[in-house]
């Protein structure tokens, strides 16, 4: 971190010198910095952290720069481009700041550039990583001390293909500039080194629940590349945790079914009778389950179940289980769902 801090300090110094040169009229007053940070919204914690890091440096410097008093006006841009432009106008045109700083999200960073260039206001982005700020569209009045989004992912793509040995990867990424550039850098070098990106899922910024997106991930992917940050990381973890607990519960139910079936087989051997359906009490007249299916029940049936559930949901409900011929795939479906606590499912399928 000392290197990063030093780099930021040098950049701040350089920009300050530029700002003081440009705004000669303010030469005797305090140095004024307008700081735009997302203090609310999805990326609020990172916004507070970014400001706190700068604030630590200013405190250590005694709130002085180049022997002049330092004033910082902090504005919450909410991580929204339109709000950022409004606050930037206020800082530059009303508060008469010498320079702007802050901004995290790349869509916000790109959106502010035309105003920065038009005003000729020196600006520093300490964290933002929008590629084109240091590539195809380098602004005259802006310095970025952070990394470039794709630059970090180029080595990771090669590493995933060559060292980790992955062949097929699915991408789940936020649907905005940072997500595209991060995923794009990985995509490029992963495929340049023999891998295949087999799926890209773009998650909207207003997502509340990742579960529907995680459910779309292809089963033949070796791994999943995920880009999330701020509130989105929490939402992703909740969805992954929920999926894991569902999977664990599913495995427990599966093991319980097998144990019950095994116990039932032992009873059958003793009594010469057929076992009840998965050890669940059955109603009179309910069709019996052929032994062949019970014996075919294997661990990988869990995967088969997933496919069957999808197929069934598309085909509709309503007593289909009773109409399916014996020995068909629907029977496996019914067996798998039999332990449900729903009394209708216990008796009806």
Partner 1 sequence: MGGKLQNTVIYTYPSVSQFWKYNAEEFLKQPVYSRDFPPCKHC
> Which residues form the interface with partner 1 (CB under 8 A)?
131-132, 134-136, 147-151, 154-155, 159, 163, 168, 175, 180-181, 183-185, 187-189, 191, 196-200, 202
Token pair for 167: 């062949």
Query: For residue 328, what are the CA distances in angstroms to 283, 325, 334?
Result: 21, 6, 10
Residue 242 CB partners (closer than 8 Å, separation 6+): 211
Residue 338 CB partners (closer than 8 Å, separation 6+): 257, 277, 278, 280, 345, 346, 349
Give 119 or 152: the residue with its C-beta nearer to partner 1: 152
Distance in Å, CB of 190 to partner 1, minimum: 10
Give 187 or 349: the residue with its C-beta nearer to partner 1: 187
DSSP strand pairing (68-76 vs 31-37): parallel
Start-end of H helices in the chain: 2-22, 44-60, 81-89, 106-119, 149-162, 177-192, 211-214, 231-271, 291-296, 301-315, 320-323, 329-337, 343-348
Q: State the Cα–Cα distance between residues 240 and 8, nearest whole angstrom.
A: 36
Give 9 or 199: the residue with its C-beta nearer to partner 1: 199
| Max CA separation in the chain (angstroms) | 102
Distance in Å, CB of 169 to partner 1, minimum: 10
Give 30 or 151: the residue with its C-beta nearer to partner 1: 151
Give 78 or 181: the residue with its C-beta nearer to partner 1: 181
Give 175 or 307: the residue with its C-beta nearer to partner 1: 175
Distance in Å, CB of 227 to partner 1, minimum: 12
Strand partners, 262: none
Residue keyed to tokens 């090669």: 158
Distance in Å, CB of 318 to partner 1, minimum: 35
Distance in Å, CB of 288 to partner 1, minimum: 46
Distance in Å, CB of 154 to partner 1, minimum: 4
């Amino acid at each position: 971190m000392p290197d990063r801090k030093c780099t930021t300090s040098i950049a701040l110094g350089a920009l300050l010198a530029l700002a003081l040169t440009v705004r000669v009229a303010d030469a005797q007053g305090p140095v004024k910095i307008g700081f735009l940070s997302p203090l609310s919204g999805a990326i609020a914690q990172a916004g507070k952290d970014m400001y706190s890091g700068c604030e630590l440096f200013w405190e250590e410097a005694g709130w002085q720069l180049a022997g002049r008093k330092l004033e910082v006006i902090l504005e919450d841009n909410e991580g929204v481009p339109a709000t950022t432009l409004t606050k930037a106008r206020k800082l530059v045109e009303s508060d008469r700041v010498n320079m702007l700083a802050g901004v995290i999200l790349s869509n916000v960073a790109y959106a502010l550039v035309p105003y920065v260039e038009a005003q000729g206001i020196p600006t520093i982005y300490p964290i933002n990583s929008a590629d084109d700020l240091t590539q195809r569209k380098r602004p005259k009045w802006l310095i970025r001390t952070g990394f470039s989004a794709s630059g970090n992912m180029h080595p990771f793509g090669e590493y995933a293909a060559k060292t980790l040995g992955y062949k097929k990867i699915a991408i789940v990424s936020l649907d905005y500039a940072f997500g595209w550039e991060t995923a794009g850098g990985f995509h490029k070098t992963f495929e340049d080194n023999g891998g295949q990106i087999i799926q890209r899922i773009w998650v909207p910024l207003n997502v509340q629940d990742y579960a529907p997106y995680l459910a779309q991930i292809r089963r033949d992917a070796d791994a999943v590349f995920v880009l999330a940050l701020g509130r989105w990381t929490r939402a992703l973890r909740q969805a992954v945790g929920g999926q894991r607990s569902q999977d664990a519960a599913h495995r427990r139910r599966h093991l319980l079914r097998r144990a019950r079936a095994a116990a039932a087989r032992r009873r059958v051997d003793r009594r010469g009778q057929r076992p009840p359906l998965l050890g669940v009490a059955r109603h009179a007249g309910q069709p019996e389950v052929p032994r062949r299916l019970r014996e075919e029940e294997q661990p990988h049936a869990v995967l088969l179940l997933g496919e069957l559930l999808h197929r069934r949901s598309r085909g509709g409900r309503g007593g289909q289980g009773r109409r399916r011929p014996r020995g068909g795939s629907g029977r496996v479906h019914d067996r798998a769902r039999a332990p449900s606590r729903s009394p209708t499912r216990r008796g009806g399928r």
